[in-house]
């Protein structure tokens, strides 16, 4: 999709056109559904027979096999520079991200973990974009970020009162995962990789780095799990999360821009909280539901901001942004 040169065209390129808007929203909705379910499905696994090591191995082991043709059988060859770029992505949204979230899920509820990481991600993305690229966020978006943070603090405090304790390491792991996700989102905006190539590289490098350690140190507990549990995790982790969700999220970033797309993804807490009720029996209290509502309102404020970047910011940002067809 080509756009003419010039300041006006560069500024317009930052704003999604009507067709791209609806396509981007559809991609974001698909990734939202899969991501929200992932917190519940992963929590279900790590509180039964499988552990976070098994979840990580299934996600990237199967994902690497499924997406291997993208790397070696595709007509468009991946350059050495892009291979190195994929390694960076794998260190951000690959193995370390999954291990951090799975660790948080192992010692916390699904609704709490699903609130902290996805909701903080657009906050970090907005702050980093403001600091690095001088992209103005606008008063409304800053208010949205503040509401997200306040809602999460309220959710953690209420959870601590209800459960009697808070696990600082788990909270820190979930916050770190949000930061890594935000940095990945920013970097991908300037990437020449397609969404499917990015997903394939993330799986390949994560599997290459993690599976030898997983097998060599005897971390596997697959023999203790039922065939149904393994099949569920293999399909969800290895296909839906590593392939479908990553491609869908990357497409939403390409069509909507990271600020809008990441804000939509931050609706994961509400969806995950609803799904966790019948699947895990985790029914949020009225106070927790109110905290999640605050987060959702913050998301809506952040997504609805119409802050206008300066001409200099627009020109610099347009040179890093490419709409993928």
% of the chain residues with pLDDT over 90: 57
What's the confidence (pLDDT) of residue 147? 95
Burial 15-40 (b: 16+ CB within 10 A, else e): ebeeeeeebbbebbebbbbbbbbbbb
pTM here is 0.82
Q: Between these two residues, 159 and 22, which has the higher pLDDT value?
A: 22
Measured CA to CA, the distance from residue 299 to residue 170 in angstroms comes to: 23
Give residues with Cβ within 8 angstroms of 15, minimum separation 6. Answer: none
Burial 296-321 (b: 16+ CB within 10 A, else e): bebbbbbbebeeebeeebbebbbeeb
Give residues with Cβ within 8 angstroms of 1, minimum separation 6. Answer: 323, 325
Kindly indicate the confidence band of residue 18, based on its pLDDT and cuts at 50, 70 and 90.
low
Measured CA to CA, the distance from residue 103 to residue 174 in angstroms comes to: 8
Q: Between these two residues, 32 and 235, which has the higher pLDDT value?
A: 235
Tens of pLDDT, residues 166-223:
788 999 999 999 999 999 989 998 899 988 899 899 999 999 999 999 999 999 999 9
Tens of pLDDT, residues 143-165:
999 999 999 999 988 888 877 66
Residue 306: closest CA among 138, 158, 85: 138
Using an 8 Å Cβ cutoff, are 325 and 17 in contact?
no
Rounded to the nearest integer, the mean pLDDT of the chain is 84
Kindly indicate the confidence band of residue 304, based on its pLDDT and cuts at 50, 70 and 90.
low
Half-sphere exposure of 313 (CA within 13 A, CB side): 14
Q: Between these two residues, 94 and 309, which has the higher pLDDT value?
A: 94
Q: Where are the domains of the chain?
A: 18-314
Kindly indicate the confidence band of residue 9, based on its pLDDT and cuts at 50, 70 and 90.
very low
């Amino acid at each position: 999709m080509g756009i003419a040169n010039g300041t006006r065209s560069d500024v317009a390129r930052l704003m999604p056109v009507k067709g791209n808007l609806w396509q981007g929203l559809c991609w974001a909705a698909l990734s939202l559904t899969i991501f929200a379910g992932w917190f519940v499905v992963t929590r279900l696994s790590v509180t039964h027979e499988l552990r976070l090591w098994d979840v990580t191995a299934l996600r990237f082991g199967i994902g690497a096999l499924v997406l291997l043709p993208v790397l070696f059988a595709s007509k468009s060859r991946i350059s050495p520079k892009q291979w190195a770029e994929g390694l960076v992505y794998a260190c951000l949204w690959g193995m370390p991200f999954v291990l951090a979230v799975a660790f948080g899920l192992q010692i916390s509820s699904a609704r709490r973990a699903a609130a902290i990481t996805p909701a903080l991600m657009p906050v970090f993305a907005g702050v980093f974009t403001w600091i690095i690229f001088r992209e103005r966020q606008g008063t409304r978006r800053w208010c949205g970020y503040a509401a997200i943070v306040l809602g999460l603090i309220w959710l953690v405090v209420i959870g601590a009162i209800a459960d009697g304790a808070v696990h600082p390491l788990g909270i820190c792991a979930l916050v770190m995962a949000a930061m890594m996700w935000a940095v990945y989102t920013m970097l991908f905006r300037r990437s020449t990789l397609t969404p499917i190539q990015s997903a394939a590289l993330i799986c390949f490098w994560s599997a290459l780095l993690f599976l030898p350690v997983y097998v060599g140190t005897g971390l596997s507990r697959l023999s203790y799990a039922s065939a149904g549990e393994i099949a569920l995790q293999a399909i969800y982790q290895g296909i839906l999360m590593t392939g479908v969700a990553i491609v869908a999220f990357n497409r939403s970033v390409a069509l909507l821009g990271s600020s809008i797309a990441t804000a939509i993804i931050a609706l994961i807490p509400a969806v995950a909280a609803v799904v966790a009720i019948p699947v895990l029996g985790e029914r949020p209290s009225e106070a927790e539901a109110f905290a999640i509502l605050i987060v959702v309102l913050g998301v809506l404020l952040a997504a609805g901001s119409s802050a206008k970047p300066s001409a200099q910011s627009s020109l610099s940002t347009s040179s890093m942004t490419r709409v993928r067809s």
